[in-house]
Structure 1
């Protein structure tokens, strides 16, 4: 469908497992050079959103290492939206409590097989000194603070998945980062390449694998995500309302002087 025919949206939400459950009739297919993407156009409390369920397409669940990240990010550009708030579920490596939130300010990429650039035919060196949009991060943090919701900040480490990490891996990774997840990369890099603003709000779903007592199960992760869903949506909506409509961050100029 031509982008001119699609509903308007103020912000795109790329959601993790169970974050949003929009009605099926709100869905529009958006074509990109990397494949078609299901985008749900909804209005929540006066905020117009374009929601891309990261893991679910055509009723099927897609594991983290098989998600079409390039198509999802390109779809945001195709519909004319300039800001993305991503939601991710993560494991804590620094004693953050499950059910609290985490705002990444940096990342380390331990993925292995995912296409991580739009530029396969030319050299573009995107600066990642500030990977997450400061305007969106500031709004998310202010929204969390105003709501008196517990949160932390730090470095997000992304692993390939779909398996959980070993105890030895977590011991190593905890020396470098604060939380571990499987979906934050290459999203943030791809968004920067398209000069889109991108930031993430993560839900601490569990202690990282090997740090808890007993086997880590997906059931306990989903239980935490379900219990925080409404609070997360409220925080995101409030943060969008707080943001200046004008983008003043460096994200909008990320490709300047980046090519060879």
Structure 2
């Protein structure tokens, strides 16, 4: 049975995917620039893995070429994308190491190109509906996989995307909380919107690694703190992905 590749996009702390069998790194040219990803197989099914920040975290969040990344995945035959976002908690009940399966977003970015549609193409001006941008069926696969491997994950969460690369101010976090945000990050938008425009089914796991500015203790946010939480918690995300892929492989066989 032919299986379309599953796309996996990850960011801080997730720069390779050791589970991939026979990995091959590809650099491709798109109409929006260059993108780089790794093809391989996981439990026998094809997977395309893309790390947003490049090898060694060389690309800051505001300079990630989101359009090239999504276009490259679509051109590679991907139809479903599971993303991983490393975030700060806006909801004070969330602690480092907690997981959420996102279901909505807020866009506080400023200078990013957030659409494939600039009005110059044959389709003219396009207004895309992003209700359900985090695809409900793909979200269910994530939640079911988490249940199987015994990892707690919140069903739903609002992701507030800020421009970066600086961390947010306490006032910005208070504003996002008033708007209903649960976590803050720097890479989820426009990625999710572009996936919808490209016709991809997209869902995202948020891994909380620190309290956002002004939430809880007032200690400065440091990369050492974030790295320590990633080291302790990234295995939970990988276990969920492993079961999700294994389940797909079972149904594909």
Shorter-chain TM range is 0.7 to 0.9
Shift, 1:186, TM fit: 0.2
Is the 1:135–1:243 contact (alpha carbons within 8 Å) kept by the matching residues of 2? no
Root-mean-square deviation over aligned CA pairs: 2.2
CA shift in 2, pair 1:37/1:184, >3 Å: same
- Map of 2:59 onto structure 1: 62
SS of the residue 1:26 aligns to = strand
Is the 2:148–2:243 contact (alpha carbons within 8 Å) kept by the matching residues of 1? no
Q: How many residues align?
A: 238
4+ long deviations beyond 6 Å:
none
- Map of 1:240 onto structure 2: 245
- Map of 2:110 onto structure 1: 112
1:224 to 208, 224, 229: 229
| TM-score, scaled to structure 1 | 0.85
Shift, 1:43, TM fit: 2.2
- Distance in 2 (alpha carbons) for counterparts of 1:111 and 1:236: 28
After superposition, give the CA deviation of every residue in 1:120-157 in whole Å (9 maximum; x if it has no partner): 12211111111111111000011112222122222111
2:212 to 208, 230, 235: 208
- Distance in 2 (alpha carbons) for counterparts of 1:165 and 1:10: 36
Is the 1:29–1:39 contact (alpha carbons within 8 Å) kept by the matching residues of 2? yes
Shift, 1:20, TM fit: 4.0
- Distance in 2 (alpha carbons) for counterparts of 1:62 and 1:223: 21
1:87 to 37, 61, 84: 84
Is the 1:41–1:51 contact (alpha carbons within 8 Å) kept by the matching residues of 2? yes
- Distance in 2 (alpha carbons) for counterparts of 1:79 and 1:245: 23
| TM-score, scaled to structure 2 | 0.87
After superposition, give the CA deviation of every residue in 1:192-220 in whole Å (9 maximum; x if it has no partner): 00111111011011111222331110111
Unaligned residue ranges in structure 2 (runs of 5+)? none
SS of the residue 1:52 aligns to = strand
- Distance in 2 (alpha carbons) for counterparts of 1:230 and 1:217: 21
- Map of 2:148 onto structure 1: 146
- Distance in 2 (alpha carbons) for counterparts of 1:41 and 1:174: 38
Is the 1:136–1:239 contact (alpha carbons within 8 Å) kept by the matching residues of 2? no
1:155 to 149, 153, 158: 158
Is the 1:47–1:237 contact (alpha carbons within 8 Å) kept by the matching residues of 2? no
- Distance in 2 (alpha carbons) for counterparts of 1:108 and 1:145: 27
Shift, 1:99, TM fit: 0.8
